[in-house]
Amino acid sequence: MPALDGELSSLSSENIGEIAALDERAFGINRQRLLALLSDGASICVLRRGGQTVGYSMKREFGRGHVIGPIVASNDCDAIDLTAVHLRDLAGGFARVDMREQTGLFADFLQQSRLGMSDTVSTMSKGKKFLNRKQNEPWVYFRALDGNSRFHDRAGLDDLAPYRDVVSSALEQRHVGVRKLWREALESIGVDAAGAE
């Protein structure tokens, strides 16, 4: 792992405003309300350099384990540090990280952590292109990766086969919550989300 450049610390969900401006620079729109919803019950880590917040990550329960994200950082090394802190906390659990890059230090780190790529994600927008990456500027890391990291030692997917119906039911309940969150996020930025399910 690269040497830590800065200081990692936790952030309470009550102080989500501290990362909202950074997130807006990275994503291109103000997502403070969405961040507040995502942070409910989440573990939030921030990276500070020279007294400035330069990156953050969240870890929250999702599906059959935890998802680490969003992750906002200016470079792969910072993204690795912001992800590794959560992976260490997940000993014995399932982890998922969504990111966009298929290559680079961050992608290599996730592969070495036994997080295999299961799918890719796209960002949709209407009228304005999001996520225009600029060197040394904050960036939102995405791509669907999941598995048991090297910090874990858990059974594989085949061991879940007897529980498929229970897992499917739990996922459907989770999807209802995600659809509600999506509607609320759209409405928070002025998009009429009636029937958007």
pTM exceeds 0.75 = no
What is the Cα–Cα distance from 66 to 57, expressed in whole angstroms? 13
Q: Which of 95, 108, 190 is nearest to 151 (CA)?
A: 95
Per-residue tokens: 168: 């499917």
- Range name among 16-20, 35-39, 46-50, 135-139 with the lowest pLDDT average: 135-139
Average pLDDT over residues 3-30: 90
Average pLDDT over residues 98-108: 75
Collapsed DSSP state (helix, strand, coil) of residue 18: helix
Q: Where are the domains of the chain?
A: 7-154, 157-197
* Cβ(111)–Cβ(150) below 8 Å: no
User: Which residue has 């009429």 as its token pair?
Assistant: 192
What is the Cα–Cα distance from 144 to 153, expressed in whole angstroms? 20
* Alpha-helix residue ranges (DSSP H) falling in 28-162: 32-39, 76-89, 105-112
Residue 83 or 171, more confident:
83
Residue 169 or 10, more confident:
10
CATH among 2.30.30.110, 3.40.630.30, 3.40.50.720, 3.90.1150.10 for 7-154 = 3.40.630.30
Q: How far separated are the first and last CA of the chain, in Å rounded?
A: 41
